Homo-oligomer: A and B are copies of this chain.
Amino acid sequence: MEKKIFIGFLKDKGQRFTKERAAILQKTLSYHGHFDPESLYLKIRETGLKASRASVYRTLNLLCECGLIDKVRKTEHGTIYEYTFGHKHHDHMLCIMCGNTIEFCSEDLERLHEGLCTKQNFRGVNHTFEIRGYCKKCQKKRR
């Protein structure tokens, strides 16, 4: 499914579906969530597949362009991507102790998004909401 979309997207632009791009797409899909370019690159090498960092970066940009993945946020260690296609929109809680991410959906938040935009005459396209704090597990550890 995603493969077809990507191939179609490339074809439309007169571009090619190479084995490097295939490998990058495959590993991207294997994440079902967040990842960063460097770990994707390493994952590809581990599997014996080949693709340079340059190709990883170039291909991730293409995957963003065609909407299969999104840039979620930039951290001090680089960009976090998310494989989003077909996923319902959701938001994040980020544990500042262990770094884990909890995803959640909130209808109330979507409604609030609409309401706030109306009030400000803003045409909202999308949003990100991130709550930072301590996850269940980390609350128990001493600080």
Contacts and interface: CB of A to CB of B under 8 A. Distances in A.
Interface string A50-94: 000000000000000000000001111000000000000000010
A126 B120 contact: no
Contacts of A117: 93, 131, 133
A32 interface: no
A131 B127 contact: yes
Given A104-B116, A108-B112, A112-B112, A122 B131 contact: yes
A123 interface: yes
B131 A124 contact: yes
Interface in A93-143: 93, 95-96, 102, 104, 106, 108-109, 112-113, 115-117, 120-136, 139
Task: Determine the interface band of chain A, counting residues with CB < 8 A from chain B.
Answer: 35 or more
A109 B108 CA distance: 9
A134 B122 contact: yes
Contacts of A132: 124-128
B116 A125 contact: no
Given A102-B122, A126-B132, 7 more contacts: A73-B74, A74-B74, A93-B120, A106-B116, A109-B116, A117-B133, A122-B134
